[in-house]
């Protein structure tokens, strides 16, 4: 937890002040809390999150679009047709690369250390949990790409390596390599270099969750129980 808080302080996410130097009336008070997670590779992570649900979001734009899976499939097809390489990466500390437009503050928890505990914490960066953080990063990334002379297009492709090199000048990008997983879909190449998409990881995760709730599921060779013919069911239909 201390490591997480220090990393956020190093990225200048907060401003601290004493209680007597209270913020202006335009600021809204929220709480901060820690989220704990276990990554797919077994790594454990603690993340400081803002209680963005506690404030009035009137006059704040919170919409941020997400790339649809069909567009990702088209991108794979275009790259394969043009014999181009595909690269993806995970931008480290995504949201806190940008400043927030929300005026919010909190009281420092014990995770901030004895020297800061109890002081007012003004949030400067788009911390996870704030409703507008995704929108702020979306705008920042769009501005970054435009500064590299990119324009929105449905058809154009560029060299993946050179693009990734430019992005790394602005953001810290980790796990760079060919795409493997996006929005619950697995990606891999076949023996002919063609991209294949599946949902094995998603189904495995879903089955694990179901079995945690209801116990181990029995395995069958067919989707339906042998001898079950629903198309021949003549039971009466349900009423209102």
pLDDT for 99: 92
pLDDT band (50, 70, 90) for residue 221 = confident
pLDDT in tens, 65-98: 777 778 888 888 888 888 888 888 888 888 888 9
Least confident of 46-55, 64-73, 110-119: 64-73
Closest-CA residue to 99 (of 130, 121, 120):
130
pLDDT band (50, 70, 90) for residue 22 = low
Q: What is the dihedral of CA 156, 185, 96, 43, to 10 degrees?
A: -140
pLDDT in tens, 132-174: 888 899 889 889 888 888 877 665 555 566 778 888 888 888 8
pLDDT for 201: 83
**CA–CA separation, 48 and 9 (whole Å):** 11
Strands ordered across the beta sheet of 14-17: 14-17, 120-123, 104-107, 28-29
pTM of the full structure: 0.67
- Residue 28, CA distances (Å) to 24, 106, 148 in order: 9, 9, 37
Beta-bridge partners for 174: 90
CB of 32 closer than 8 Å to CB of 50: yes
CB of 111 closer than 8 Å to CB of 34: yes
More confident residue, 65 or 128: 128
C-beta contacts of 135-140 below 8 A and 24+ residues apart? 135/61, 135/62, 135/63, 135/64, 136/95, 136/98, 136/99, 136/100, 136/101, 137/64, 137/94, 137/95, 137/97, 137/98, 138/64, 138/65, 139/98, 140/97, 140/98
């Amino acid at each position: 937890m201390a490591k997480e808080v220090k990393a956020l302080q190093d990225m200048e996410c907060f401003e601290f002040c004493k209680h007597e130097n209270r913020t202006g009336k335009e600021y809204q008070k929220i709480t901060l809390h820690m989220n704990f997670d276990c990554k797919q590779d077994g790594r454990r992570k603690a993340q400081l999150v803002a209680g963005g649900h506690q404030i009035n979001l009137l006059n704040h734009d919170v919409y941020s679009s997400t790339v649809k899976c069909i567009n990702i499939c088209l991108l794979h097809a275009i790259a394969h047709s043009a014999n181009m390489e595909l690269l993806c990466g995970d931008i480290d500390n995504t949201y806190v690369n940008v400043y927030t437009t929300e005026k919010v503050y909190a009281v420092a928890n014990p995770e901030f250390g004895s020297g800061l505990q109890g002081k007012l914490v003004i949030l400067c960066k788009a911390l996870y949990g704030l409703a507008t953080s995704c929108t702020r990063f979306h705008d920042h990334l769009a501005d970054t790409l435009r500064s590299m002379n990119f324009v929105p297009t449905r058809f154009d492709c560029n060299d993946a390596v050179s693009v990734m090199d430019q992005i790394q000048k602005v953001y810290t990008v980790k796990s760079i390599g060919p795409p493997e997983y996006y929005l619950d879909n697995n990606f891999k190449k076949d023996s002919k270099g063609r991209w294949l998409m599946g949902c094995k990881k998603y189904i495995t995760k879903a089955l694990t969750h179901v079995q945690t709730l209801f116990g181990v599921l029995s395995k069958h060779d067919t989707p339906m129980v042998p001898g079950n013919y629903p198309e021949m069911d003549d039971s009466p239909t349900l009423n209102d």
